[in-house]
Amino acid sequence: MLLLGCHVNFNKDSQVLGSLEQALSYGATTFMFYTGAPQNTVRGKIKLDKVEEAKALMKDYSLDYSKVVVHAPYIINLANSKDQEKYQFSIDFLKQELKRCEELEVFQIVLHPGSHIGLGRDVGIQNIINALNEVLQDSKVTILLETMAGKGTELGVSIDDIKEIIDGVHHKKHIGICLDTCHLNDAGYDVSHFDEILDEIDEKIGLSFLGCVHINDSKNPRESHKDRHENFGLGTIGFHSLLDIVYNKRLDDVPKILETPYVDREFPPYRYEIEMIKKREFDENLIENIKKQVL
Ligand code: FE
Ligand code: FE
Ligand code: ZN
């Protein structure tokens, strides 16, 4: 079965069951969510009964709960140690996120490696390694380092960056990679030759480390270092290149997650994008057609 999902909400009442129901309503077979607002660290208690209900419902649909993914909030920055207090806060908050993942029985969490904010690449990377070694000490959850577009002083922009971090992490069982097609494009990779990217990962790190792929088109040309996602097929990557990635045999067991923008910042596009992907037929009027159906 095609392992294709999208980013969904998580609210404090329905929790992961609500997230799953939303994903199912889009025709998704997996999903990704933040355990609270991505831009802050306010987090409520995980309701274990909702976890059980979600697992049971997925089983009814013959879907695999073990492929569900959490995304860490982007205020966590493990690269910047200039303010020791903030650095330690990022580490402690990430530890708590891992605990929440354990309670949710979600065993992979996507993390932006961090931005060095003037400390320089090498210091930033060492900070990330040190932080990960502390955080992962007795973790049951795998941290998937996301490849970034290279906005500002972001790290993890190349496969070599990611390799350097993973090489420094002692707990190899609980570290991995999340590719983001928009970020790869904006960082300078040619995602229309995705097998070459997978080959490079396999040679340098090992393809078994790949735990998730974010499927997004990009509003900007290759190597623009911008990180602005576009709807499936409507950006500079285009429908056929993205479709090839979704259906790449080497990614069969890897959850592929859409993080494409809401239409008019209001309407989730995922049901329509997933439908288009399943039909394998490009709808150049995707946005107009979504509006027609929701308005
Ligand atoms: Fe991300
Ligand atoms: Fe992403
Ligand atoms: Zn992005």
Ligand 3 midpoint to CA 60 (Å): 33
Give dist(CA 113, CA 133) in Å, integer.
Answer: 13
- Per-residue model confidence as pLDDT tens digits over 9-24: 999 999 999 999 999 9
Q: What is the pLDDT of residue 294?
A: 86
Ligand 3 midpoint to CA 227 (Å): 5
Give dist(CA 254, CA 1) in Å, integer.
Answer: 11
Q: What is the pLDDT of residue 39?
A: 81
Ligand 1 midpoint to CA 78 (Å): 15
Ligand 1 midpoint to CA 110 (Å): 7
Q: Which helix (H) or strand (E) holds 154?
A: strand 154-155
Give dist(CA 35, CA 16) in Å, integer.
Answer: 9
Residues of the chain with pLDDT under 70: none
Ligand 1 midpoint to CA 73 (Å): 9
Q: What is the pLDDT of residue 163?
A: 98
Percent of the chain clearing pLDDT 90 (strictly above): 96
According to DSSP, the residues that pair with 110 across neighbouring strands are 71, 144
Give dist(CA 165, CA 199) in Å, integer.
Answer: 19
Ligand 3 midpoint to CA 259 (Å): 8
Ligand 2 midpoint to CA 146 (Å): 7
- Per-residue model confidence as pLDDT tens digits over 132-160: 999 999 999 999 999 999 999 999 999 99
Q: What is the pLDDT of residue 34?
A: 97
Those residues whose C-beta lies under 8 Å from the C-beta of residue 230, and which sit 6 or more positions away, are 182, 216, 217, 218, 219, 236, 260, 261
Q: What is the pLDDT of residue 42?
A: 85
Give dist(CA 235, CA 229) in Å, integer.
Answer: 8
Q: What is the pLDDT of residue 116?
A: 98
Residue in the structure block whose two tokens are 């303010």: 83
